[in-house]
């Protein structure tokens, strides 16, 4: 195996979090890492100025799923062009190991890896429903890693160690957190505001991540209610917020879900209903089947039902169950497996 590794993929935070964990681990082991992403999505914001990287390359790509007619043909033609660009990059840096974390950002380099005979492709699939790209490329991969599929060599999900370091078993409900992700979730924001007065009367403190677009509105609504909530749009210290919370309401993207598991934080999941193949619902359903979370579609949210859950929730039992559900050091195990090839 050469000393230069390529990590490709992204578009959204879930894919990018996994890319970030892979970069950390390979750099720690003395490898040079090149990241190849897209000019679309959040890739540039995450990795453009990342000093861990030998190089960050952003190709002009966009998604193909949900496009039709001429737009779909143009997108496919563009991916073909960027695949050729990726192939030149792999040859220039003598790369023979590529890790794809999925998303449309990964398409050109994944295809280029397949075309380059002396290059091995490894795939990490975050979600319970395999993404469109990964379905097409997994049969060419040397290794396929997933927490949801029995054919995965390593089942544990790569979560940063800090989430395990900050974990604790919850025993009493004093603080509740609402997390809509870095982009925010209006449905969760509105639900939190509808619950706020009653939570305040119960003496339960509120932590609320709103997302940038809805921050001012939500902050103003708490002020009108005269509730001293911890309201913020985005923070890189989300582990501190999780540590403070005893219960959580959250979207069910895979990275967020497993971070909450690692933190042992009992959660009421509200999946993003427009997620591809409804994968957020099925992510959370895997936990629900083990009685380790609560799950409700956003169109079915009910205030009284939520307070019934709060009244009966066995925080300690769920926290301990979550501790057994996910183990630390997953990224070390996955990279160990990759390096065997």
- Known binding residues for UDP-N-acetyl-alpha-D-glucosamine are 12-14, 127, 182, 280
CA distances from 64 to 70, 98, 133, 265 (A): 11, 22, 10, 36
Q: What angle do CA 217, 221, 225 make, to 5 degrees?
A: 170
Q: Which helix (H) or strand (E) holds 59?
A: strand 55-59
Rounded CA-CA distance 260/287 in Å is 11
Q: Which residues of 186-203 are buried (b: 16+ CB within 10 A; e: fewer)?
A: ebbbbbbbebbeebbeee
**Where does the chain have alpha helices with state H?**
13-28, 43-47, 69-92, 107-115, 132-137, 161-165, 186-201, 215-224, 238-244, 254-262, 279-288, 303-312, 315-325, 330-339
Rounded CA-CA distance 257/262 in Å is 9
- CA-CA-CA-CA torsion for 183, 188, 194, 196, nearest 10 degrees? -70
- For residue 136, count CB atoms less than 10 angstroms from its CB and return exposed for 0-12, middle for 13-18, buried for 19 or more: middle
Question: Which residues are annotated as part of the binding site?
Answer: 12-14, 127, 182, 280
- The sign of the torsion formed by the CA atoms of 335, 41, 242, 273 equals negative
Rounded CA-CA distance 301/26 in Å is 42
Q: Supply the DSSP string of 307-340, one letter for each residue.
A: HHHHHH--HHHHHHHHHHH--S-HHHHHHHHHHT
Both tokens assigned to 21: 């964990």
- CA-CA-CA-CA torsion for 219, 13, 131, 325, nearest 10 degrees? -90
């Amino acid at each position: 195996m050469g000393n230069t590794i390529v990590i490709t993929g992204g578009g959204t935070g879930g894919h990018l979090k996994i890319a970030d964990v892979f970069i950390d681990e390979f750099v720690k082991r003395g490898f040079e890492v090149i990241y190849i992403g897209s000019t679309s999505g959040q890739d540039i914001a995450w990795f453009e100025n990342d000093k861990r990287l030998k190089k960050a390359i952003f190709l002009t790509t966009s998604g193909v799923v949900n496009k039709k007619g001429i737009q779909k043909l143009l997108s496919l033609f563009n991916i073909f062009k960027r695949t050729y660009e990726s192939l030149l990059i792999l040859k220039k840096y003598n790369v023979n190991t590529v890790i794809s974390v999925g998303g449309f950002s990964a398409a050109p380099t994944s295809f280029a890896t397949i075309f380059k005979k002396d290059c091995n492709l490894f795939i990490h699939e975050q979600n319970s429903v395999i993404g469109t790209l990964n379905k097409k490329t997994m049969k060419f991969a040397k290794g396929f890693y997933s927490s949801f599929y029995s054919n995965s060599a390593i089942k544990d999900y790569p979560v940063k160690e800090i989430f395990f370091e900050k974990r604790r078993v919850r025993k009493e409900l004093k603080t509740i957190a609402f997390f809509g992700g870095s982009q925010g979730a209006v449905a969760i924001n509105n639900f939190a505001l509808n619950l706020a007065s009653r939570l305040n009367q119960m003496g339960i403190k509120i932590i609320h991540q709103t997302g940038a677009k809805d921050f001012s509105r939500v902050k103003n609504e708490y002020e009108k209610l005269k509730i001293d909530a911890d309201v913020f749009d985005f923070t890189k210290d989300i582990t501190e917020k999780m540590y403070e919370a005893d219960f959580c309401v959250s979207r069910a993207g895979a990275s967020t879900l497993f971070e909450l598991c690692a933190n042992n934080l009992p959660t009421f999941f509200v999946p993003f209903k427009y997620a591809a193949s409804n994968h957020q619902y099925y992510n959370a359903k895997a936990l629900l089947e083990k009685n380790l979370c609560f799950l409700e579609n956003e169109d079915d949210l009910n205030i009284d039902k939520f307070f019934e859950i709060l009244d009966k929730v066995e925080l300690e039992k769920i926290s301990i169950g979550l501790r057994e559900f996910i183990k630390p050091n997953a990224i070390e195990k996955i990279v160990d497996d990759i390096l065997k090839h």
